[in-house]
Every structure is written in C-alpha cells, then in structure tokens.
Amino acid sequence: MIRLTEKRIVVTGGAGFLGGHLVERLHSAGCRQVFVPLQGEYDLTQAEAVQRLFQVHRPEILIHLAAVVGGIGANRKSPGRFFFDNIVMGVQLIDAARRYGTEKTVVLGTICAYPKFTPVPFCEDDLWNGYPEETNAPYGIAKKALLVQCQAYRQQYGMNAIFLLPVNLYGPRDNFDPETSHVIPALIRKCVEATEQGRAEIVLWGDGSPTREFLYVEDAAEAVLAATERYDKPAPVNLGSGVEITIRDLAETIARLTGFKGRITWDVTQPNGQPRRCLDVSRAEREFGFRARVPFDEGLRRTIAWYLSRPRAD
C-alpha cells in the first residue's frame, strides 16, 4: 500500500468535475503535495508542456484525469478532436512518467471503450470483443489505446501503471452546458428551465429505451484514491455502482425530483447511443475494497440542490 501523504502527486484534470472532488479528497486524507496543471499554463497536448510539467514538479504519483468529454451531440460534432486530444495527452503523459521514473501512474479510461453490444453486466475481460458504439467510438478507442500503452510499458519497462474504467459520473459541480453536458445534468437543466419558464413539454433524444449506470462523483473520487493506494496490477478495473436504469425511467425520476409536471416527448430521429450499460463491479471490490455508497435518488437530490443553488446566468 502506498502512503500518499508522503508523495508528490500531480492530478491532470484536477480542476475539472471528478478532479476537483478527488483533489479535495486527497487534501482531506492529509496529502499536502498535490499539484493541478491548469490548461492555460500546461497544454497537455503539447510535448513541451508535458516535459516542463515533469521537470518542474517531478511527480511521484501521476493521476491522469484530463480529457475532452461530452455527450452524444458533442461526440458527433467533434470526433477528430475527441480522438486526437485524448490520445495525445495520454500517450505523452504516460511516456513522460516512464522517462522520469514516476513511482505510480493512474490512468482513467471510459466505458465508451466497451463494444457496442457487450453482454451485461460489462466485464473487463469483454473490453476487446467488438467495436464501440459509433457515436463515441473515437473517444473510446483513444482511451482504450492508453490501456495498451500502460500494459506494454509495464511489460517492457516494469512501469507501475494502472487503468480504471469509470461509468457515467454525476453530482454537484457537474457540467450543465447544454452543448457538452452528459445526460443527468442535461435532464436536470431541461426540467428546471421548463418549470421556471412554464413550458408544458421537454423533448429528449432517442426513444428512452437505452440503459445506463451512474456513479456519484464523491464515490468515484473515493474509488480512484483506493486504487491509487492499493491496486498495482495490469488488468483494467471497472468503477461503478452496478445499478442499471433506462433513460426513460431516469427522465421520469428527474422530472419528479425537480417538480417538472409537463410532458416528456421522445425524438426518435435522434440516436439512442449504446443500447445498454451496466458494469460488473466485483473486481474493484475484490482488489481494493471499493463499493459505491451513495444511493441513486440521494445523489440526484444533492445534484439538483446544487444546481438550484448556483447563479444561473447561462
């Protein structure tokens, strides 16, 4: 087990959604040498910036969370950027960690890397048994390539690099931008704004039949911390709650919790995305004792309360 309180830790993406919660969790655990490279100073798609990051901060632990992410619309609009930025950032950071002798590297992937028709629940051993769902395949493949790099570097150089596969995250401080948000913040915003504006209808993409699994962001931060401390094997590990819900049921739940009493209309001309997503989370519990703790309805209530409490000039 690694004693993180004594280590120099770099968290890429540490100013983002999961990263912000993870940095808070590291601080609460007693870690005092945590550095978050901000994009304005360190553009991690540029080799010079990555080199400078390692020269200046000499991380003993690298936790790579930085990513270009978004929902179906954002993935369809910018597949080239989603592929290039994600693969280039990861490849350069992992290689720099090898060259500078970083003690441990933690890389977060995505369940978008799983094949479109993966048997449910998704088991890590099924990761290579097909092509990802088309709307987010460039993003998923870019991230999955980093798993190959971690495993290859472990084999050739003895590098301690681990790869985690988080399910869809949600919670306070999520991204509620209608152009780039994922499904839960998008639904919360639609329902709240429709209620405030007195609209009787919201329109959602697809037919509502796909299923998704969600993990509360504070649980996810706890999982990353536990894996960083305790997991040192080459096999990827799912991070999730193990609870599956249809998008239709999700929309109806969020409508109820936000007080939206209007009609939900499904635009079936728009894509559904992957038909089902639900993870086998047994490896995470077995290997480093992680189990999600926040019940889904409670997590949604906290997320909605946070959204309603913030200034909404956007």
Q: Could you give the CA distance from residue 1 to residue 297 in angstroms, rounded to a whole number? A: 34
CA atoms within 13 A on the CB side of 189: 20
State the Rg of the chain over Cα.
Answer: 19
Catalytic choice (139, 170, 216, 307): 139
Strand partners, 263: 201
Is residue 157 among the annotated active site residues?
no
Paired tokens of 131: 């092509």
Q: Could you give the CA distance from residue 120 to residue 72 in angstroms, rounded to a whole number? A: 21
Q: Are strands 61-64 and 201-205 parallel, antiparallel or unpaired?
A: unpaired
Helical axes 17-28 vs 217-230, angle rounded to 10°: 60
Q: How far is CA 93 from CA 40, 48, 296, 303, in A?
A: 17, 11, 34, 32
Query: In the chain, count of helices (H) and strands (E)?
Result: 10, 11
* Catalytic residue set: 139
